[in-house]
Structure 1
Amino acid sequence: MTEQSPTSGPITDGPADPEHDTTAAYALDRSYVAALTRRVVSSSGRTHAVFSPIGGAPLAHVPQSTPADVAGAFARARTAQAAWAATSLDDRAAALLRLHDLLLDRQEELIDLVVWESGKARKDAYLEVAHLALTARYYARTAHEHLDTRRVGGMFPLLTRAEVHRVPKGVVGIISPWNYPLSMALCDGLPALLAGNAVVAKPDAQTMLTALLAAQLLDEAGFPPELWQVVAGPGPEIGGAVVGAADYVCFTGSTATGRLIARQCGDRLIGCSLELGGKNPMLVLRDADVHRAADGAVRGVFANAGQLCVSMERLFVADQVYDRFVDAFVSRTRAMTLGASHDWTVDMGSLISQAQLDTVAAHVEDAVAKGATVLCGGTARPDLGPFVFEPTVLEGVTADMECFARETFGPVVALYRFHSEDEAVARANDGTYGLNASIYTRDAARGRALARRIRCGTVNVNEPYGATFGSLGAPMGGMRESGTGRRQGAEGVLRYTEAQSVATQRLVPIAPMFGMSEENHAKVMTGALRLLDKLGRA
């Protein structure tokens, strides 16, 4: 289902517990790792070796699940869900607030583990903690707003009472990616828990330890342990079992895998939300503050070494400011500090794997071979880490180049001039994706108006992605081939519920009374409808 993470090592028959593995010096305390990996539902006796992008240090042997393990996880989750759904909404919200505090209290431990597993810069790892804490607090504080039973207008005033309940789906299957191993491991599941569901989670193979620590924090926050089950294994082996047993599926990953999951969910007549690929544009208008736009572009392009679904890969800059913007952007890019370490001073960290490094290098080499110009960057830096690649700015990218329309998912961006805003919008909308966009202008109202013309699920004005991503009341997701469904906001929790309408009729039936004929009943109903319209009733 999800792609096997190529940074991870081979699947073997052991050892399941790295505490007893003496073949290598592990980067993490082996008893600590063993305690985390015991949370995986596994009976196979097989393990998956995981190594860090920081120097290739061994991290763990993660136990692997079988389809039978997945079935068992869903069975236990269903039992736990029945009791959890009967728990009051206030108690569920209180558990989220306890989790919020635990995340902030344990942030150093969480950040360390994220950096070890992903190789990202420490500042980027901190943002995962912050986003997850925001998510927990937002849904705890808005629980009643989203999930309380709601009275709606009945068919006849005073005679018909109608209300809508939000009923949990049951057990949600969550398949999460490696690029944001903490935030993506939990952020989609927290509203599912709040709504009364259980979760079976399948995190990516490379970042299992972070996901397992997150599950441990759920236990410590007071969520029933069997409410959140974790399974591990290659997508082709157990991904289908997760989709086949879930009552709803939440997936973040590639468009190709998203299509497969959508077909499987369609066959079962269950819902799914899919956040998929993107080729996100940034527009720098002629009235933009060039230095502010250049600062934003550095964040928007190179955060997490470009391994961010909402990061920018295409920069469209107005003729009037193009040269000044390029000078400011390139100079800032060249000044970035790179590395694969836990140091707070690193501006951009490592790519996740050799496969990711190969893709980035291939896109740059292809562009250069076909005539593109490298304004800065363009090469791997093995002296800094096995998968470090320089932040790269390209000019002269054309439609025959791999990086023109295909998602690179790395620290590479292409610059383009535009002559009119209509042209800029048309080029931003070109292609099949529609996840995130950014507009820089001194006229915020003009930027917001232009945003409505861009076919993306989120558009940020004078910010690359953080304004929408950090505004938890704002839904986040993609249009077109960037996916379906939304996380965050009301949509982020209501997707895990069924709407149940209950109506109670008083005094008279909605049918002929006192021997009235159907014809006369129709006349009475018509008169009542006209009266309700004159009274302004919906």
Structure 2
Amino acid sequence: MEVVPTLDLMHYFASNTAKLLQPTTIDIGQYGLMGRSSQVVYKPLGVIGIISPWNFPWATPLDEVVMALMAGNAAIVKPSELTSLTALKIADVFRQARLPEGLLEVLTGDGSTGAALIDSPVDKIMFTGSVETGKHVAEAAAKHLTPVVLELGGKDPMIVLDDANIDNAARAAIWGGFCNSGQACASIERLYVHESIAKAFTEKVVSETAALKQGATTSEEIDVGAMTNERQLHIVEDHLRDAVERGAKVLIGGKRINEKQGWFHEPTVVVDVDHSMKLMREETVGPLLPIMTFKTDDEAIKLANDSIFGLTACVFTTDISRGRKLAERIEAGTVMVNEVVYTHALAQTPWGGVKQSGYGRTHGRLGLLEMVTPQHIHVNSFPSVADVWWFRYTKPARQLFRGLAKHFTTGSLIEAVPLLPQMLRRLFEKR
């Protein structure tokens, strides 16, 4: 899930960065007729600080390192203290590739190390992590006016419409909910199904979940592995306990597995849930799949948008036009139709959220633009001719300005034609 997409991203930016960061010419209207031209060029920021999480310890920092380097910057990576060795391996890979010294450094440590990085004179911070930590990062960076990209939590909804392919949508739901043991910010954590197909859909989800194999081995037969840390396992248990106490029903799974080789929780499907429950409001990051029903498209959209988060969402339907229209009504940085989770693996497309899922983007051209600063270059191609608005203001000049004001008010080129002789006199008069 991490290596192949990252290789693809490397190839993409190696082949396309020069094109994506080409200077952009701006149409400046009538000023162009006066020998003026404007361009935007893109310059490296300098040093990019990258603070990355534990759940995708290879792909998240490496993708951002690649974009930073390709845009002409240096990068400093501060990984989660739970995944320090992975970040050090990233640095080793670049060292073996003969990246010049000083362009990539890794700082290992706890939150105090991250705080020191933010307090340093880096030129931008790319942070991926929780909402609460993201708020602290933004506050600390603001003291130095250091710009920040925040990729924070998600509580991503999946809407299954009445015309959806039930079997395919069910398979998508369990992969979206349980891949990486549900430990992705884009995991499906809220599932809304039209009431007319809810019974058949839920039965299919349960049967597909029952077929999953879970364990600590790296065997290809294993579908779902362990959770990364015990703290996250406790959050899963807390959310599930809260839901059951409020009337939810567990259809399959629902408990920790006493596995000596890691922290395991069964893939769990829950029904009879509502938005008063933690597992429908707070980010879980674990293998819980709660299912609610809806009657109308409008109700589905209302439920999907009833969240402080807005990272990704998805709609399943056989009517693509209907799916697109509903997608545009959902408050999320990415909305997929008949797909789940995976667009972080697309180097070409932007990644990021709205609301408390953060701001700014990684990946694609928008992500690359986060690694540069735009500079406007304006050129006057007539270096020996004074501008008409420069001092001094003679009587003919004042008459010209009144005419120009009228022209700019109406936007009529016809009204501007009589002003051309006055313009020429003004350009060449002695001042």
Matches within 5 A, 1:194-213: 194-213=70-89
- What is the deviation of 1:461? 0.6
Question: 2:401 aligns to what?
Answer: 522
Structure 1's 361 and 512: CA in aligned 2 closer, same or farther, altered over 3 A? Answer: closer
Q: Secondary structure of the residue that 1:258 maps to in structure 2?
A: helix
Q: Do structure 1's residue 471 and structure 2's residue 350 form an aligned pair? A: no
Secondary structure of the structure 2 residue equivalent to 1:317 = strand
Q: Which residue pairs with 1:509 in the alignment?
A: 386
Judged with a 3 Å threshold, the aligned counterparts in structure 2 of structure 1 residues 238 and 438 are, in CA distance, closer, same or farther, namely: same
Determine if contact 1:512/1:521 at 8 Å carries over to the other structure. Answer: no
Q: 1:367 to 1:514 in 2, by over 3 A?
A: closer
Q: Which of 364, 369, 388 is matched with 1:489 structurally?
A: 364
The whole-number CA distance in structure 2 between the counterparts of 1:434 and 1:533 is 45
Equivalent position SS for 2:143: helix
Q: Is the 8 A contact 2:9 2:346 kept in 1?
A: no
Whether 1:152 aligns to 2:152 is no
Which amino acid in 2 is paired with 1:131? P
The aligned residue for residue 435 of structure 1 is 311
Unaligned runs of 5+ in 1: 1-126
Residue 398 of structure 1 aligns to which amino acid in structure 2?
D
CA-CA distance at 1:515 after TM superposition? 6.0
Q: For residue 40 of structure 2, what is the aligned residue in structure 1? A: 164
Larger mean Cα displacement after TM superposition, 207-216 or 526-535: 526-535
1:242 matched to 2:112? The reply is no
CA displacement at 1:492 relative to structure 2: 0.5
Residue 315 (1) aligns with residue 194 (2): no
Structure 2 counterparts to residues 240-319 of structure 1, below 5 A: 240-245=115-120, 246-319=122-195
**Map of 1:90 onto structure 2:** none
Closer, same or farther: CA 364–153 of 1 in aligned 2, 3 Å? same
- Listed one character per residue, the Cα deviations across residues 407-444 of structure 1 (whole Å, up to 9, x for unaligned) are 11100011001000100000000021111101100011
Match of 2:338 among 449, 455, 462: 462
Write the letter of the residue equivalent to 1:509. A
Alpha carbons of 1:170 and 1:533: their partners in 2 closer, same or farther (altered >3 Å)? Answer: farther
Q: Is the 8 A contact 1:199 1:227 kept in 2?
A: yes
Q: Please list the CA deviations of residues 250-301 of structure 1 after superposition, one character each: whole Å capped at 9, or x if unmatched.
A: 0000000111111122222221100111111000000000000011001110
CA contact (8 A) 2:6 2:345 kept: no
Aligned-residue CA RMSD in angstroms? 1.9
Q: Distance in 2 between matches of 1:198 and 1:308?
A: 28
| CA distance in 2: counterparts of 1:312 and 1:135, whole angstroms | 24
The verdict on how the C-alpha distance between 1:451 and 1:533 changes in structure 2, with shifts beyond 3 A counting, is farther
Is 2:16 the counterpart of 1:139?
no
Any idea what SS the aligned residue of 1:362 has? Answer: helix
Q: Which residue of 1 aligns with 2:418?
A: none
| CA deviations over 1:467-492 (Å, ceiling 9, x no partner) | x3233222111100000001111110
Deviations 1:77-131 (A, max 9, x none): xxxxxxxxxxxxxxxxxxxxxxxxxxxxxxxxxxxxxxxxxxxxxxxxxx20112
Contact 1:392 1:413 in 2 (8 A): yes
* Counterpart code for 1:487: T
Q: Where does residue 271 of structure 2 map in the other structure?
A: 395
1:382 aligns with 2:250: no
1:141-172 alpha-carbon deviations (Å, 9 max, x no partner): 22122212222234333601222111111111
Structure 1 residues 43-122: aligned runs within 5 Å: none
CA distance in 2, matches of 1:239, 1:225: 22
**Identity over aligned pairs, percent:** 36
Q: Match of 1:368?
A: 244
User: Which amino acid in the other structure matches residue 375 of structure 2?
Assistant: Q
Change (3 A) 1:292 1:172: same
Mapping of residues 316-355 of structure 1, within 5 Å: 316-355=192-231
Partner of 2:288: 412
CA contact (8 A) 2:181 2:225 kept: yes
**Range with bigger deviation, 443-452 or 207-216:** 207-216
Kindly name which structure, 1 or 2, has the bigger radius of gyration based on alpha carbons.
Answer: 2
- Aligned pair in 2 of structure 1 residues 516, 362: CA closer, same or farther (>3 Å)? closer
- The equivalences for 1:221-240 within 5 A come to 221-235=97-111, 237-240=112-115
Distance 1:509 1:141, change over 3 A: farther
Equivalent position of 1:72 in the other structure: none
TM-score (ref. length: structure 1): 0.73
Aligned to 2:429: none
Question: What is the alpha-carbon distance in structure 1 between the residues aligned to residue 296 and residue 27 of structure 2?
Answer: 49
Q: Distance in 2 between matches of 1:512 and 1:274?
A: 44
Task: Could you tell me which runs of 5 or more consecutive residues in structure 2 were left unpaired when the two chains were aligned.
Answer: 415-431
- Deviations along 1:298-317, one digit per CA (max 9) or x if unpaired, are 11100100000001111000
Please tell me whether the aligned partners of residues 338 and 384 of structure 1 are also in contact (alpha carbons under 8 angstroms). Answer: no
The aligned amino acid for 1:323 is K
SS at match of 1:205: coil
**Displacement of 1:388 after TM fit?**
0.9
CA shift for structure 1 position 334: 0.8
**Preserved contact between residue 511 and residue 521 of structure 1 (Cα < 8 Å):** no
Q: After superposition, give the CA deviation of every residue in 1:302-361 in whole Å (9 maximum; x if it has no partner).
A: 010000000111100001111110011110011000011221221111000111111111
Matched residue type, 1:519: R
